[in-house]
Amino acid sequence: MHCAAVLLASRAASAAPLRTRHAMASNLLHVLPPQRLLRPLAVPERLLLGPGPSNVPPRILAASGRQLLGHMHPEVLQVMDDIKVGIQYAFQTQNQLTLAISGTGHCAMEAALLNLVEHDDTVLVAVNGIWGQRAADIARRLGASVRELLKPPGEYFTPWDIEEGLVQHKPSVLFITHGESSTGVLQPLEGLGKLCHRHGCLLIVDAVASLGGAPIFMDQQEIDILYSGSQKVLNAPPGSAPISFSEQAREKILRRKTNPPSFYLDMRWLANYWGCDGEPRRYHHTAPINSFFSLREGLAMLAELGLENSWEHHRVHCAQLCQGLRDLGLELFVKEEKARLPTITTVRVPEGYDWKEITAFLMDNHAIEISGGLGPSVGKVLRIGLMGCNSTSRNVDRVLHALRDALRCCRRSRL
């Protein structure tokens, strides 16, 4: 066809109503354009007071909506360097091998385990909720000999529990969760790193739910691998996950007998990509650049607020929420006050109520998300998250008001 004719035909096609254009395509295509994709994207306004993600403030939203740059452009490398020092601040560490995984907090858990653990290593996992269960599952998939140290959901491990496990099982790695989001427990970390090192073991700590909400001092507490996520206190969308390795952990990774079973998460490659090994940076994967922009802003907001202020905000609003829940006649799941995670509060499902009706009521009538239990706490608890910019006195009042309404209106279950 002549050029002008092609142009005219294509103008006519783009001016034609959608239905006609699809009809033209349908002779050739067996799979038609899905009707649902022809409708506009629907994103309602909600207050996200579950265990995460939490709402994203305008500054971080704007960062994730910025125009793309090439992932190896100097400005993006600069953003990655900003992220690195931001994580060092948030973790209170000077570890060189500090970076963000291109993935969620769960991906960082996989990265921690699959880089450190080799076939037949003995891994001791402290299990008092879903994250210990997950870590044990991942370590088994890696061919490790996995031993579990068990506590009922809602309880934490004492240094004596840990020492007993170390003596009995002689592991080379101990995994423990600082903020158990499934049960609302905050695990004390004091002395655990030293204890592990005395027994020739390295310590991995999951701080996905606790970072920025409860004190953590990676270097002082002698933690070997610490990781978190972006979607909780940092208020960024899920998709990039802070992680850091002590010198001992880094050396163990460099001495591995076998390659880690994932190329994408191989820390030797990622160390180079993030400029942590002193070598010129090489291409490894195409980073989620806008996710890095938003993580950078989340870390910047934490640095501006100050870690100690952030811990204090979370402590104060968690205490206000706990008092309000008790005033409603509800029972907190974690008995000891000091063992309560300041970011996610768990409350027992009240007798005679169906937890699903309560969460649905809050969503339908108040546009507030709270969540039921997860893993071992399913059916037992409701989980209320107050994280980062969502941790405010006003939000405590809003969720308490909505819960009072739910307790009044939700049908008592016939069970």
How far is residue 194's CA from residue 246's CA, in Å, rounded to a whole number? 13
Closest contact distance (angstroms) between CB of 374 and ligand GLV is 5
**Binding pattern to ligand GLV, positions 242-281, x when CB under 6 A?**
----------------------------------------
Near ligand GLV by CB under 6 A: residue from 95, 104, 182, 395: 182
How far is residue 88's CA from residue 96's CA, in Å, rounded to a whole number? 9
Q: Residue 303 interacts with ligand GLV (CB under 6 A)?
A: no
Torsion of CA 339, 341, 344, 350, to 10 degrees: 10
CB-based closest residue to ligand GLV: 181
Residue 261 contacts residue 77 (beta carbons within 8 Å): no
CA distances from 116 to 128, 144, 227, 407 (A): 22, 11, 13, 47
Closest contact distance (angstroms) between CB of 49 and ligand GLV is 12
3-state secondary structure of 303: helix
Identify which of residues 21 and 380 has a Cβ nearer to ligand GLV in the complex: 380
Identify which of residues 51 and 171 has a Cβ nearer to ligand GLV in the complex: 51
Closest contact distance (angstroms) between CB of 52 and ligand GLV is 5
Residue 275 contacts residue 266 (beta carbons within 8 Å): no
Q: Residue 374 interacts with ligand GLV (CB under 6 A)?
A: yes
How far is residue 407's CA from residue 380's CA, in Å, rounded to a whole number? 16
Identify which of residues 181 and 345 has a Cβ nearer to ligand GLV in the complex: 181
Residue 371 contacts residue 50 (beta carbons within 8 Å): yes
Considering CB under 6 A, how many residues would be counted as binding ligand GLV?
5
Identify which of residues 165 and 213 has a Cβ nearer to ligand GLV in the complex: 213
Tokens representing 9 are 């035909």
Closest contact distance (angstroms) between CB of 208 and ligand GLV is 6
**Binding pattern to ligand GLV, positions 275-294, x when CB under 6 A?**
--------------------
Closest contact distance (angstroms) between CB of 93 and ligand GLV is 23
Tokens representing 388 are 């980062």
Identify which of residues 128 and 181 has a Cβ nearer to ligand GLV in the complex: 181
Residue 163 contacts residue 198 (beta carbons within 8 Å): no
Residue 253 contacts residue 245 (beta carbons within 8 Å): yes
Near ligand GLV by CB under 6 A: residue from 115, 181, 210, 290: 181
Identify which of residues 183 and 246 has a Cβ nearer to ligand GLV in the complex: 183
Identify which of residues 300 and 374 has a Cβ nearer to ligand GLV in the complex: 374
**Binding pattern to ligand GLV, positions 14-53, x when CB under 6 A?**
-------------------------------------xx-
CA distances from 382 to 175, 184, 310, 345, 355 (A): 26, 10, 24, 8, 7
- Among residue numbers 80 through 119, which ones bind ligand GLV (CB under 6 A)? none
Residue with tokens 């000091």: 338
Identify which of residues 146 and 370 has a Cβ nearer to ligand GLV in the complex: 370
Closest contact distance (angstroms) between CB of 294 and ligand GLV is 18
First-residue to last-residue Cα distance in the chain: 73
Q: Residue 77 interacts with ligand GLV (CB under 6 A)?
A: no
Peptide bond into 17 cis (omega under 30): no
Q: Where are the beta strands (DSSP E) in 183-255?
A: 185-186, 202-206, 225-227, 241-245
Identify which of residues 206 and 222 has a Cβ nearer to ligand GLV in the complex: 206
CA 162 to chain centre: 25
How far is residue 229's CA from residue 298's CA, in Å, rounded to a whole number? 11
Q: Residue 177 interacts with ligand GLV (CB under 6 A)?
A: no
Q: Which residues bind ligand GLV (CB under 6 A)?
A: 51-52, 181-182, 374
